Structure 1
Amino acid sequence: MVFLNPKSGRIMKKLVRLLLLTSFYGFCFFSPWSIAGAQAMLVVGLVGVVLVLIWGPRPNFQTGGIFMFIVLYYIVNLFSAALSGAFFDSLKSLRHEWIPLTFLIWVFLSPDENHLKRGIDIMVAVSGIFAFYACLQHFTGYDLVRGIALESLDRFYIATGPYGGHLTFGGVYFLIAFFILGYLAGSALEKGRRFYYYILFLFLALPAVILSYARSIWIAMAFSTAILVLLVFRKHLLKASAIILALCVLLVILFPPLAKRGKTLLDMSFDSNFNRVELWATSRNMIFHRPIVGFGSGGFTRNFEKYFSGGFCPVRCHPHNDYLNVLVETGIFGLLIHLGLFWLVLRRAYYVFKAGSGIYRGIALGSLLAVVGIMIAGEFECFFVDDEVEELLFFMFGLCTISYNTTLYQKGFLRRDARILLIRTDRIGDLILSTPVCDALKKSLPSCKVDFLVSKYASEIIRNDPNIENMYIKSGFISTARLMRKIKPEVAIFIHPTFDEALAGMLSGVPLRLGSGYRAYSFLFNIRHYEHRKTNKYHEVLYNCRMLKEIGIEYLPERIRVYLDEESRRRANELLGSLGVCGDYVVLHPGSLGSSLAWSIENYKSLAKIFAESNYNVIITGSEKEMALANFIAESSGKNVFNIAGKTDLLTLAGIFEKARIVITNSTGPLHIADGVGTSVLGIFPPSRNMSPTRWGPYNQPENIIRPPVEECERCVGKSCKFWYCMDILKPEAVFERAKLIMGRRTR
C-alpha cells in the first residue's frame, strides 16, 4: 500500500474519477461502431480500477454477487485448461477472455443519474447514425466504410452496419435497441425532447436490426417483445399484439426477402441449418467424452477433427450455440456458472423493475429485455464469444447492478417489518458485545424480527434477550444453509464471518448479505463493510454497530445488557446458600481459555488470600476445564474462599455475578457477563495493543481496567521481549487496592 499525503490523495481520487468517467463516456461513444475504440476505453477504465485498488480508498461497491460468478468463471476455465491436455494452448485462448473484468469499471464508477442520462444519450445518438447507415446499406448494397459489396437478397442487401458481419451487427444493435426500448418503457420519461429523440432512434434501430437478416436475432426480438408486452402493456395486450403484428406484416410487404428468409428457419436443407446440425452433433460427441470439465478454452476448434460427426461443414470455429460451446470448453460446472450469472442479472433486473423508479427502473427493464433476448439467440449462435456483444453485455450487467444498489438505498434497504438474521458463532464475550446490534435494529425498525445464529457453547447467555425473536444453534454448513432457506431472512448480517457461513448465505438465496470487505471470500457478500478492526480505534461494540451504516442505520449504544430470568437467580441463590455464603462477596474468575494473555494463577491465589484476610467472602468461578485451577486457589487461600467452578451454567453464573461486590477477571467472556448484569468489574489486561481494553474492555465501565506498568507493545512475542514476564509485574496488592477503590465508589 502506498501512503499519500492528503493533497496527493485528493489529486489521485480526481484522476481515478476522470479515468473512469472517460471510460464510461468513451465506451458509450465507440461501442456502437468501433471495437478498437470501445476496447481502448475499457483499458482506460481498468487502469482506473487498478489505481483504486492500489491507492484507495477502496469504494464500498456492491456487485450483487455477479463478480463472484465472474471469478468462478475464470477458476473453472483454469481448472479445465489444467485437465485438458493442452494447458498452454488453452491459456493462450483464455488470455483473450478479459472482458468480464470490465464489469468492475461500471460498479467502481457508479455514475449518478445525470452521468447515466448523458452516457445513454451519447450511445443513442451514435447508434442512430449507424442504424440509418445500415438501412441505406439495405438499399444500396455497398459498405462505404470497407469499400465492399454486400450479399444480395433479390433487390435488397443484408445490412452489416459498421461491422464486417451481419450477425455481429444484429447482435450489437439488438442489445442497444432493446435496452433503449426497455429504458423508454420502464423509466416513464416525460414527453419532451429526449422522449421523441429516443422514439426516432427506435424507428431507425429496430428496422436496421431486422434488416441484418440474422434469424437468431429475429427469434430473440420475438421473445423480448413478448416479455415487454407482458410486463408493461398487459392491460393493452390485444391492442399491443395487433400493432406488432401489423408492423411485421408491413415489413414483409415492403421487403419480400424477409418472408423468404423466415421460411428457412425450419428448412433443414438450408445450408446454414444443415451446418448447425453437424456442429451440434460434433459438440455432442465432445460433451459425452468429457462432460464434467470440458476441453479448456478453445477446445472446440482444437478437437474438431477428432470428434467431427461427418458430412460437409465449412464453418468450424465454434458450435453456433453458446451453451454447447460452454459445455465443450468447461463442462457442466462451467455451464452452471454461465447460467447462474445470467440468472442473477435477470433476478436483479426484475427486482428493480418491480421496486425501483425513474431511469433505474428503465435501465433494469432494458437490461432484462436485452439479456433474455441474447440468451435465446445463444441457442442458435455463439454471441458470448463475440467481443462486440460481450462487452455490451457486461456494460449492461454493470448498469443493472448500479440500478439495483441505488434502488436498495432509495428504499432504505429494509422494510420496517423485515426479518433479519444476525450471525456470530465464536465466543461468549464476542456474542455479548454483538447484542447491541439487536438493540440498534429494534430501535430503528421497531416491527422487524431479529433472529440470531450462534454457537451452542455461547447460546445460553442471550436466551432471555427480548430483542431476539428466535435463536438458532449452528451445527454445520448444510444445516446452516437449510436454516437460512427455511426462515428466509431479507438480510443476513455476518458480524464475525466464516467462509462456510458466508457460502451458506449466498447459496440459500439471502437477498442482502452484509459482511466484512476484507476477507478472501468477501465476494460472497453483496453489501460489504470496509473497516479494519485491528487498529483498535473503537470498542468492539461500536465496530459491530458501525456495520449497520451500510444498510442505513446509525446507532450509538449506551450500554450492553445480559438479561436474567428469575429461575437463574433462584439457582444462583440456592448455590450460594448450599455453600453457606453470607453477606457480601467478591468473585475471581482466573481462567480465560486462551482468549488473551492472562494473569498467573499464583497471582490469583495471592489475591484471594488478601481478600479472605480482609474478611471478604471470595467465590472462585470457572468452567469444567478450569476446575483444577479453581481448586488450587480455593484450597490454599483460607476458609472464606468458595470454589464453584464447573457447577454453573452461563445464566446461573450471571446470577452469581449480579449479587457480587465486584468481579475480577482477565479479558474474557465472564468480564462482559458481569458488566452486562450491572456488577462492578475489574478487568486485568496485558499491555499488548492487539488485546487493547479500548476495544475489549468492559463497555459499561471502561475505566475499570488495570494493566502492568510497562510500555504498550504491538503483540506478545514471548521471551524475546524484555518484559516477557509483564503480567507478573502487576502485583496482587495493586489489584486489591484498585478493587477496593472501585467498590468504594459504588453504593449497593
Structure 2
Amino acid sequence: MKRVLIIQIRQLGDILLSTPLCRALRENLSSVEVHFLTSEIGKSIVLGNPYIDEILTLSEGIVGEVRAVLTTLRNRYDAVIDVQRTGRSRRITLFSLSSRRIAFKKKNFEIGYNVPIEWENRGYTAWERIKLLEGLGVKVRNYQDYLPEFYNFKPVKSLKLDKYAVIVPTARKREKMWEVKNFQEIISFIHRELGIKTVLLYGKGEEEEKKKYKNLQGTIIPERALSIGESASVIKGALFFIGLNSFASHLSISVGTKTIIIDKKHSGWFPPIPLVKEVYGDGKFPNVDSVKKAILELMG
C-alpha cells in the first residue's frame, strides 16, 4: 500500500472529524502516503497537518469535478476512502479506478464502492470513521486515542489577552442556538465567580449577534470576525470554551481546550473524555444552572 486518498469535502466540522483517520493511517501503515481531498475552505482546516502528505481541493461545478477525477487518475491511488458519500465524492471515487474504493455499507451499496465496511457505534463519530481503515486491512484497537487535530494557527496581534474563557453563541442552524439572555448570564457568572473575562467569537454574517453582548461587563469582542486559524489560536489559549453543537466546539476539542457543549440532547458528535462536558436536556436546551455547574466541575 503506497498511496491512499481520503475524501471529506464538507462540512467544516466533518472535515475536522475526519483528521483522526490520517494519523491512524500513518501510524499503522508507516510507509503509506496520505492525500486528502476537500473543499477550498476545508483546506484551511487540514493545512499543516503532519499526517497528510498532499491536500487536494475540489472547486464548484462540473469542471472542478473533472479536474479532481483527472488528478486521482494521475496519482494512481491504491485505495480511496470516501468518508462522506455524496454524489460528487462517489463519482470521484468510482472514476479514480482505484482497486480499493472504501465506504460505509448502506442498505443499497452503490456502484462507486467495492469495499463495504459495516458501521459500528463507538460513541463518537471520529472513532467510528477510523473503522474505515479496515478496508485496508488495518484494525485500530486503540481508536479512542485519536481525536481531531488542527495545526493551521494564525496569531491575533490586536487582542491582548491574559486569563480568559471563550464563548461562541452562534450555530449554523438557528434552532441549535441557546437564548442570548442565557449566554449573557453565563458571561456575568464567569466574570463574577472566576474573575476572568470572556472572549466572544462570531463568524462572518453574524455581526448582529455580537451587538447583543456589546455593553456586557466582562466581555471582549473582536472588532471583526476572525478566520478559522485566528479563532483556533484564541481558543487554544483559553482556560475553557463554551459553545453549541457546531464547528467551533469541534475546533476547541481539536486544539486541546477544555470544552462545554450546550445542546438539546446527546448527539454522539463529541468524545466522552474528561476534557469535554456535554450539557443537554431531554429534547430541549438545559437551564443556566446546569451550565454553571459544568463550568465549576470542569475547572476543578
Length-normalised TM-score, structure 1:
0.37
Corresponding residue number in structure 2 for 1:490: 78
**What's the offset of the Cα at 1:474?**
1.3
Higher RCO structure (Cα 8 Å, ≥6 apart)? 2
Give a deviation string over 1:13-43, Cα, whole Å, max 9, x none: xxxxxxxxxxxxxxxxxxxxxxxxxxxxxxx
- Alignment partner of 1:419 is 2:7: no
Contact 2:126 2:148 in 1 (8 A): no
Displacement after TM superposition at 1:562 (Å): 2.5
Q: Give the match for residue 562 of structure 1.
A: 149
Q: Deviations over 1:265-314 (max 9, x none)?
A: xxxxxxxxxxxxxxxxxxxxxxxxxxxxxxxxxxxxxxxxxxxxxxxxxx
Residues 621 and 645 in structure 1, CA contact (< 8 A), matched pair in contact too: no
CA distance in structure 1 between the partners assigned to 2:186 and 2:115 by the alignment: 48
Pair 1:705–1:576, CA change in 2 (3 A): same
What is the SS of the residue equivalent to 2:251?
helix
Structure 2 residue 115 is the aligned partner of structure 1 residue 527: yes
Q: Does 1:619 align with 2:207?
A: no
Distance in 1 (alpha carbons) for counterparts of 2:229 and 2:221: 17
**Residue equivalent to 1:706:** 279
Query: Structure 2 CA distance, aligned partners of 1:627 and 1:645?
Result: 10
AA aligned opposite 2:227: D
Query: How far apart, in 2, do the equivalents of 1:478 and 1:618 lie?
Result: 46
Residue aligned with 1:673, SS: helix
Q: Within the alignment, does 1:460 sit opposite 2:44 as a pair? A: yes
RMSD: 2.2
SS in 1 for 2:205: helix
The answer to whether the 8 Å contact 1:528/1:550 transfers is: yes
Is residue 576 of structure 1 aligned with residue 159 of structure 2? yes
1:742 is displaced (CA, Å) by 0.6
Deviation at 1:561, TM superposition (A): 4.4
Note the alpha carbon deviations across 1:146-199, whole angstroms, 9 max, x for none: xxxxxxxxxxxxxxxxxxxxxxxxxxxxxxxxxxxxxxxxxxxxxxxxxxxxxx
Secondary structure class of the residue paired with 1:575: coil
CA distance in 2, matches of 1:665, 1:613: 20
Aligned residue for 2:126? 541
TM-superposed deviation, 1:612 = 3.0
Residues 457-485 of structure 1 deviation map (CA, whole Å, 9 limit, x = unaligned) = 33212111100001111113222212212
**Residues 553 and 515 from structure 1, CA distance in 2 versus in 1: closer, same or farther, beyond 3 angstroms?**
same
CA distance in 1, matches of 2:271, 2:31: 30
Give secondary structure in 1 for the equivalent of 2:111. Answer: helix
How many angstroms does 1:699 deviate by? 5.5
Partner of 1:735: 291
Is residue 605 of structure 1 aligned with residue 198 of structure 2? Answer: no
Secondary structure at 1:522's aligned position in 2? Answer: coil
- Residue 600 of structure 1, CA deviation: 2.2
Identity %: 17
Distance 1:645 1:426, change over 3 A: farther
Is the CA contact (8 Å cut-off) linking 1:596 and 1:666 kept in structure 2? no
Q: How many residues align?
A: 293
SS of match in other structure, 1:603: helix
Aligned pair in 2 of structure 1 residues 649, 511: CA closer, same or farther (>3 Å)?
Answer: same
Offset at residue 507 of structure 1 (A): 2.2
Paired residues of 1:560 and 1:700 also in contact (CA < 8 A): no
Q: 2:25 pairs with 441, 448, 458, which one?
A: 441
Equivalent residues of 1:481, 1:507 under 8 A apart: yes
Q: Given that residues 612 and 637 in structure 1 are in contact (C-alpha distance below 8 angstroms), is that contact kept between their aligned partners in structure 2? A: no
Are 2:287 and 1:675 equivalent residues in the alignment? no
Instruction: Report how far residue 645 of structure 1 moved.
Output: 7.3
Cα distance in 2 for partners of 1:433, 1:646 equals: 27
Q: Aligned with 1:524: secondary structure?
A: coil
1:430 counterpart (14, 24, 49)? 14
Residue 605 of structure 1 and its aligned partner are, at CA, apart by 2.2
Structure 2 CA distance for partners of 1:668 and 1:427, relative to 1, 3 Å: same
Cα 1:550–1:522 change in 2 (3 A) is same
Unaligned runs of 5+ in 1: 1-414, 714-725
2:94 paired residue number: 506
1:591 corresponds, among 157, 165, 170, to 170
Asked if the contact 1:623/1:645 (under 8 Å) is kept, the reply is: no
How far residue 631 of structure 1 moved from its aligned partner, in angstroms, is: 2.3
Kindly state the Cα deviation for residue 700 of structure 1 after the two structures are TM-superposed. Answer: 4.6
Larger radius of gyration: 1
| CA distance in structure 2 between the partners assigned to 1:662 and 1:492 by the alignment | 37
C-alpha distance 538-592 of structure 1, shift in aligned 2 (>3 A): same
Distance 1:595 1:514, change over 3 A: farther
Shift of 1:585: 0.4
Paired with 2:296 and 2:223, the residues of 1 have a C-alpha distance of 24
What is the CA-CA distance between 1:511 and the residue it aligns to? 2.2
Q: Secondary structure at the match of 1:447?
A: coil
The 2-side partners of 1:623 and 1:671 are apart by 13
Provide closer, same or farther for how the CA distance between residues 599 and 526 of structure 1 changes in structure 2, counting only shifts above 3 A. Answer: same
Alpha-carbon distance, 1:554 to partner = 1.1
Distance of 1:445 and 1:646 partners within structure 2: 43
What pairs up with 1:344-355 in 2 under 5 angstroms?
Answer: none
The structure with the greater share of residues assigned to strand is 2
1:670 is displaced (CA, Å) by: 1.4
Provide the secondary structure at the position in 2 that maps to 1:544: helix
1:685 corresponds to: 263
The one-character-per-residue Cα deviations of 1:488-536 (angstroms, maximum 9, x if unpaired) are 211110011112221122223222210122165622101112327xxx5
